[in-house]
Amino acid sequence: MLDAALRDALRARLDESRRALLGALEGLTEHDFGADLGGGQTIVQALAALAEIEQRENAEVRTEAATAPAAGRPLPPQVVHALAGASYRSRRYLEADDADVSSAKALVDGIVEREASLAERIRQRPPTPPPPVFPMAQP
């Protein structure tokens, strides 16, 4: 079990990191979520990968089997839900009686590093081209 001060400090780091990531997403449209971040990866795909990694690392620290990644094309609402679920599991681990100090620190360090990196990639992305406009048919 983690002592209260360490647990609180780790939770504060998670909160700060998630606020920064959500700040980078602020104002994005559904069209923007499909923007290429480079290497053929879109914002929504990068967010899905982030959730997947956090879920896998949560399973590893608990010595559980990891769940299979979702198949198909990720959609923004589902990805945001997956991120929330991964975050919830991370926080639950910090509260667990069997939480290990080094595992907890490594889990939080990894999350914070990946979220900061993705937030920066999102902020630095090239402008999203406007969606196509189709002319209206004349009656």
pLDDT of 98-131, one tens digit each?
999 999 999 999 999 999 999 999 999 888 777 7
| Integer Cα distance of 31 and 42 in angstroms | 11
- What is the share, in percent, of the chain residues with pLDDT greater than 70? 96
Q: pLDDT value at position 137? A: 75
Q: Is 65 exposed, middle or buried (0-12, 13-18, 19+ CB in 10 A)?
A: exposed
Q: What is each CA distance from 101 to 54, 58, 107, in whole angstroms?
A: 17, 14, 10
Between residues 76 and 70, which one has the greater pLDDT? 76
| Integer Cα distance of 116 and 108 in angstroms | 12
Q: What is each CA distance from 4 to 93, 103, 108, in whole angstroms?
A: 13, 16, 16
Q: Taking Cα atoms as reference points, which of 135, 5, 28 lies closest to residue 80?
A: 28
Query: Residues 11-20: pLDDT tens digits?
Result: 999 999 999 9
Q: pLDDT value at position 40? A: 86
| Integer Cα distance of 130 and 133 in angstroms | 9
